[in-house]
Amino acid sequence: MPVDLSDDLLLAVQRPARYAGGEINTTPKDHRAVRASIALAYPDVYDIGMDYQGFHILYPMVNAHPGFAAERVFCPWPDMAAQLRRRGVPLHGLETRTPLRDFSLLGFTLQYELSYTNILEMLDLARIPLLAAERRDVFPVVLAGGPGALQPEPLAPFIDAFVIGEAEEVLMRLLAIAARHREAGTRDREAVLLEMAQVPGVYVPRFYAPDASGNVIPLRRDVPFPIRRQIFDITQETWSVRPVVPLMRTVNDRFMLEIKRGCTRGCRFCQAGMITRPMRERTPGQIIELTGEGLANTGHKEVSLMSLSSADYSALAPLMREINARHERDHVSIALSSIRVNAFDVQFADEIKRVKKTGFTFAPEAGTERLRSVINKELSDERFLNVVAHVFARGWQRLKFYFMCSLPTETDEDLRGIIDITGRSVAIGRRFWGGNFEIAVSVSPFIAKAHTPFQWEGLLPREEITRRWRLVADGLRGRNVRVRPHSPDQAWVEGVLARGGRE
């Protein structure tokens, strides 16, 4: 039964459009007319979650199947959570307001550790028992996927099944299993989970446990081990040309198209690069065709060519030229999600600025060439400053730099290197723009991630992370530089969840 979300309730909270649904390209389906359903859950607020590319693929993919329905749900802001509790309204899907506990599957994406507590909040608001062991109803089966699923143990008590790797095929198989058991009226939750555990890439924690040394081992003979990360043929992915378009301002307002998956650069801190191999590209022809369809379906005036390292796409400059040739007259601009400095080409800047100078973000990560070598991010100061000069010269007045602090082998000299290279970039900016430009600098504390060469690096004491961050942040203060705040305390929590165990 859909919940009743009165106007009165929506008017009692900030930004009611977060909860109203009815956006462009949504697909509300009658749950009585489908065999199985999934609520795709983003454990953060709508404004952030709507920018998550994964749901722009999975949502239309599931709904393209006549027997399945997908809806979206985001973590309500505290004002809405309070209203839901006060009025006794359970958390529900945006499309049909069906309570989450009435879905076959409830699938969370684990994009960053600090969102994990929101999963518990959402389960609580949905009135689903927090602990997997305490769930008695067969459905919904609570799933989790995304990068965090490759380090699942801290969440193992709360999740029924993790999807390890790319979810496209796995999700459809899990929906098919759920459909069969729903139709058969199965009353045995364990039987459903045991069948799901046979799907390649699915890890059901209740059938495994850590041994004395902390290694996870199977508890029964009829479950697979080891469980292998799944990959998907990206060229088969065409569902994302019809993403849901929000009716309110979210963090970005653009059509996103993944041009390749994976990255082979092998930066030693980078989990994303390690867990998405091999690198797979779409052809330029497919990208051009899908871009045209996506822009027509959404009305967006910006296309973002997404990947972990877009500048490494093998035909980027000609691709951008062709997209501009087709869409420039409609004032469609191009944005690149991420540019590796060594792969930067002035042609990219020239193509981007033909319509609108969308932002440039560069991530040298460390302040000195020595430390960049340690983390395998080969980049000379000279090359970096050269690229900065090219970008300023081509009309950009706002740049973003990403650095990390507390990296392995780091000394105060490396930290002062961040201040130094930023200062030299400011000097270049002044040459072109006087005082009329800004460099936003983010210095995030390094967190060692599982499946990377740095995974066994210890977590520095909180006080030391704070000292290092302060050293850089204080040194960066000055005209034309904006330092984005980071909380070393939060980094510490993140570090614990990024490598913690089931305990």
In the complex, minimum distance from the CB of residue 417 to ligand SF4, in angstroms, rounded to a whole number: 18
Can you list the alpha helix ranges (DSSP code H) found in 64-115? 78-87
Nearest residue (CB) to ligand SF4, 298 versus 338 = 338
In the complex, minimum distance from the CB of residue 298 to ligand SF4, in angstroms, rounded to a whole number: 26
* E-assigned strand segments in 323-468: 333-336, 360-365, 398-405, 438-445
Residues whose CB falls within 8 Å of the CB of residue 120, separated by 6 or more in sequence, listed in order: 130, 158
Classified as helix, coil or strand, 195 is helix
Nearest residue (CB) to ligand SF4, 154 versus 364 = 364
Nearest residue (CB) to ligand SF4, 368 versus 480 = 368
Q: What secondary structure, in 3-state letters, does 7-67 show?
A: HHHHCCCCCCHHHHCCCECCCCCCHHHCCEEEEEEECCCHHHHCCCHHHHHHHHHHHCCCC
In the complex, minimum distance from the CB of residue 475 to ligand SF4, in angstroms, rounded to a whole number: 24
Nearest residue (CB) to ligand SF4, 327 versus 340 = 340
Radius of gyration of the chain (CA): 24
Which residue's CB atom is positioned nearest to ligand SF4?
273
Residues 489 and 384: their CA atoms lie apart, in Å, by: 31
Q: What token pair was written down for 448?
A: 């060692």
Nearest residue (CB) to ligand SF4, 48 versus 272 = 272
In the complex, minimum distance from the CB of residue 446 to ligand SF4, in angstroms, rounded to a whole number: 12
Neighbours of 15 (CB within 10 A): 16
Identify the CA nearest to 415 among candidates 477, 363, 366, 467.
Answer: 366
For residue 442, give the DSSP letter.
E
* E-assigned strand segments in 273-357: 280-281, 302-306, 333-336
Nearest residue (CB) to ligand SF4, 10 versus 272 = 272
In the complex, minimum distance from the CB of residue 372 to ligand SF4, in angstroms, rounded to a whole number: 11
In the complex, minimum distance from the CB of residue 361 to ligand SF4, in angstroms, rounded to a whole number: 11
Neighbours of 99 (CB within 10 A): 19
Buried b (16+ CB within 10 A) or exposed e, 202-234: bbbbbbbeeeeeeebeeeeeebeeebebbbbeb
Buried b (16+ CB within 10 A) or exposed e, 168-181: bbbbebbbbbbbeb
Nearest residue (CB) to ligand SF4, 240 versus 309 = 309
* E-assigned strand segments in 308-356: 333-336
- What is the contact surface with ligand SF4 in residues (CB under 6 A)? 263, 265-267, 270, 272-273, 308-309, 340
Buried b (16+ CB within 10 A) or exposed e, 271-295: bebbbbeebbbbebebbbebbbebb
Residues 186 and 142: their CA atoms lie apart, in Å, by: 17
Paired with 306 in beta bridges are 258
In the complex, minimum distance from the CB of residue 270 to ligand SF4, in angstroms, rounded to a whole number: 3
CA distances from 396 to 33, 426, 436, 437 (A): 53, 13, 11, 8
Nearest residue (CB) to ligand SF4, 308 versus 419 = 308
Nearest residue (CB) to ligand SF4, 34 versus 308 = 308
Nearest residue (CB) to ligand SF4, 49 versus 273 = 273
Residues 289 and 312: their CA atoms lie apart, in Å, by: 21
In the complex, minimum distance from the CB of residue 441 to ligand SF4, in angstroms, rounded to a whole number: 17
CA dihedral sign of residues 41, 42, 44, 46 = negative
In the complex, minimum distance from the CB of residue 253 to ligand SF4, in angstroms, rounded to a whole number: 24
In the complex, minimum distance from the CB of residue 169 to ligand SF4, in angstroms, rounded to a whole number: 24
In the complex, minimum distance from the CB of residue 445 to ligand SF4, in angstroms, rounded to a whole number: 16
In the complex, minimum distance from the CB of residue 277 to ligand SF4, in angstroms, rounded to a whole number: 10
Nearest residue (CB) to ligand SF4, 361 versus 487 = 361
Identify the CA nearest to 76 among candidates 3, 20, 146, 159.
Answer: 20
Nearest residue (CB) to ligand SF4, 159 versus 443 = 443
